[in-house]
Amino acid sequence: MKTFKGFIAERTIGPTTPIAWQKSLSKALFDVGVELNTLWLPMAPSIFKRIGIENFRATAFHVTDNSKFKGIEKMQGQKRSLSAAFTIPAVNLEQGIQTKGGTIVELDANVLSSWKYDVMSTPDKSGRRWIQMKQLHYGNNDIDKILRDAQKMVHEILIKHFPKDPDRDWKIENTLKGAMPATTMRWWMQLRMKLMYPDNPATKTADPVLKKKLSLVIKDYLDGMEKVMRSNVKQLKEIFTSYLNIRKMKSIRQWDEQIVNDIKIKKVHFVGWGSRTDMEEFAKEVGKKYDTKIWDSSSDLQSYISGIAAKETGQ
């Protein structure tokens, strides 16, 4: 297992190009609902490698704008992950998905997990992406065992880290015996509040000593979720790779999501900029290092992207 620092020490893309939907683990991991499937699952290359989930190289596309392009460029060859797609509607090529659009980066990428729909993957401050476990249900997958293992893991963390009550003889392990998932999740959400603001939750005056303990909780969560993934690795492999051989959406208004890393830029496409002159100038600058193409029609670019997916899957 990695140390906590080993998980969080990776830098963000850059000081002037923050990652979309960037969240702090100390908040995001506890910002969940009362169902077990709202727990967050790490899409971490290091974890995948340790538990034996193979990766696959494929051509994928990332929609961005000129201001974010340098950030994508800096990610080449790195472990930090990125959200990309095999299929993208024409309107999103111009308007964007999580950022503004108009600059579409064609990537040779390492696919960590492949999804037929947008799983709303969320990066933390290190750039590592997470998905909520409810996304594993797609295709009517029976993930009851995975959820039971996750509940057991959360119980172990709560028993280890939930603060003792000095005013009464109370043990959280007794409360958790035979607990329904909703009960488990309520205590899980309470754990952060108890550690961060034990004296006065209303005014949110943080206790610096207990606040440090939260980092240990996060480390145990990462280690624990790795164990959950390891014990269910066969099923997770099937879920993560089933869409790789399809790469086709029924609706032209939808996009899929591919969580990728170790990227290499193959080509950069441009379409739908407000100013043709600005687009041509930026394309000329990018063209000093990469192949580029300016498209007059986003529909044509959409067809090109779909054609790449069809070619790679032999369709």
CB 8 within 8 A of CB 219: no
Neighbours of 163 (CB within 10 A): 13
Better pLDDT: 104 or 11? 104
171-187, pLDDT tens digit by residue?
A: 899 999 999 999 999 99
For Cα atoms 163, 167, 168, give the angle at the middle one, nearest 5 degrees. Answer: 85
Beta-carbon contacts of 275 under 8 Å, excluding residues fewer than 6 positions away, are none
Model pLDDT, residue 96? 67
State the greatest distance between any 2 C-alpha atoms of the chain, in Å, as a whole number.
73
SS3 letters across 159-227: HHHCCCCCCCCCCHHHHHCCCCHHHHHHHHHHHHHHHHCCCCCCCCCCCHHHHHHHHHHHHHHHHHHHH
**Based on the number of CB atoms within 10 Å of its own CB, is 275 exposed (0-12), middle (13-18) or buried (19 or more)?**
exposed
Model pLDDT, residue 290? 98
Collapsed DSSP state (helix, strand, coil) of residue 97: coil
For Cα atoms 247, 258, 38, give the angle at the middle one, nearest 5 degrees. Answer: 120
Q: List the single range of 107-121, 180-194, 198-212 with lowest mean pLDDT.
A: 198-212
Claim to verify: residue 202 and residue 250 sit in the same structural domain? no
Mean pLDDT value across residues 224-244? 96
Among 182, 210, 235, where does a domain finish?
Answer: 235
Among 235, 267, 294, where does a domain finish?
Answer: 235
**Rounded CA separation 57/204 (Å):** 47
**pLDDT tier at 167 (50, 70, 90 boundaries)?**
confident
Mean pLDDT value across residues 187-209? 73
Better pLDDT: 209 or 19? 209
Mean pLDDT value across residues 264-284? 96
Among 183, 218, 235, where does a domain finish?
Answer: 235
CB 214 within 8 A of CB 196: yes
**Domain-embedded: residue 30:** no
Residue 202's domain spans which residues?
A: 145-235
Claim to verify: residue 118 and residue 149 sit in the same structural domain? no
111-157, pLDDT tens digit by residue?
A: 999 999 999 998 888 778 999 999 998 777 899 999 999 999 999 99
**Domain-embedded: residue 186:** yes
pTM of the model: 0.84
Model pLDDT, residue 203? 52
